[in-house]
Amino acid sequence: MLQERLIARVRELCREDARLSAALIYGSFVTGEADEHSDVEFWLFSDEPVDPLAWLDAIGPARHVVVNEFGAHVVFFPGLVSGEFHFAGTAEIASVGTWPARGAPAEHMVVVDRTGALRVALDSLPAEPVLPDDVGELCGRFANWLVLAYRVAARGELLRAVDALAHVQRHLLWMARLAEGRTRHWLTPSRAAETDLPPDVVAALHRVTADAASVTPALAAAWVCGRGYWVRLVPSVPVGLFEELDAAFLS
């Protein structure tokens, strides 16, 4: 795959660049889930200023480079293959230790570690993300997004309702994963949902997906799905809220 050749080239550049104190690869190519649709993802830590565009140009031909909303440089390689590169100072290596989880063995993630600080930070992380202690809080956040979608749809802001429903669905995915005991992809709950979750659960979640013309049935489907999981996950539910949501969506 092109991605494997890109990864090999980035590894080579990292080893050759003495300015880099550390570099790591993350994502599906270290978790063992990569395929021809996967992107490549790196963090590069340097002691000296690095020109990101010049550094990325050395990898190979690219169609375009853009800085995304998280400050990472995204490179579009031929064939619509993406690469995400975070350029940071050496002092930021310690911040790796604040990540929610590694997701892969540390030795698979380290590309360069000239001081040993990167391995220390990675080893301090749990292998998998810690699940929430307060499931009721998670369910309440689902209701928050659902009510927002309901209210803005009633106002006629259907595109805003669609946006809110995306958050509703994300929380439903978390609730479903907890209820079904399928929490492997907790940090990105939509990842591999079609294979992680039972077919009937996937079908129910698909009904929550909406465009501007299908907001009303999607809202009802979201409450039916979320109501069922809330009852399964939490010993006692907010009865008054349930009664009002039932009246809004099930009557």
Q: Domain check: are 106 and 184 in the same one?
A: no
Q: Domain check: are 11 and 77 in the same one?
A: yes
Q: What is the pLDDT of residue 221?
A: 96
Q: Domain check: are 162 and 237 in the same one?
A: yes
Residue 30 lies in a domain: yes
Q: What is the pLDDT of residue 24?
A: 98
Residue 156 lies in a domain: yes
The residue behind tokens 């009721």 is 136
Q: What is the pLDDT of residue 67?
A: 96
Question: What total number of domains does the chain contain?
Answer: 2
Q: Domain check: are 106 and 155 in the same one?
A: no
Q: What is the pLDDT of residue 251?
A: 84
Q: What is the token pair recorded at 45? A: 């830590």
Residues spanned by the domain of 27: 2-123
Beta partners for 85? 42, 73
Residue 130 lies in a domain: no
Q: Domain check: are 154 and 195 in the same one?
A: yes
pLDDT tens for residues 197-209?
Answer: 999 999 999 999 9
Q: Domain check: are 101 and 79 in the same one?
A: yes
Burial class (CB in 10 A: 0-12, 13-18, 19+), 221: buried
CATH of the domain at 160: 1.20.120.330
Residue 57 lies in a domain: yes
Q: Domain check: are 108 and 31 in the same one?
A: yes
Residue 214 lies in a domain: yes
Q: What is the pLDDT of residue 225?
A: 96
Between strands 73-77 and 64-67, the pairing is antiparallel
Answer with the one of 123, 154, 184 that is the final residue of a domain: 123
Residue 129 lies in a domain: no
- For the chain (251 residues), the mean pLDDT of every run of 10, in chain order, is 94 96 96 93 95 95 95 96 97 95 93 97 94 95 98 97 97 97 94 95 94 94 97 96 96 84
The residue behind tokens 């301090």 is 124
Q: What is the pLDDT of residue 145?
A: 98
Q: What is the pLDDT of residue 56?
A: 96
Residue 76 lies in a domain: yes
Q: Apex CA 33: angle with CA 89 and CA 74, to 5°?
A: 40
Q: What is the pLDDT of residue 52?
A: 96
Residue 239 lies in a domain: yes
Q: What is the pLDDT of residue 199?
A: 96
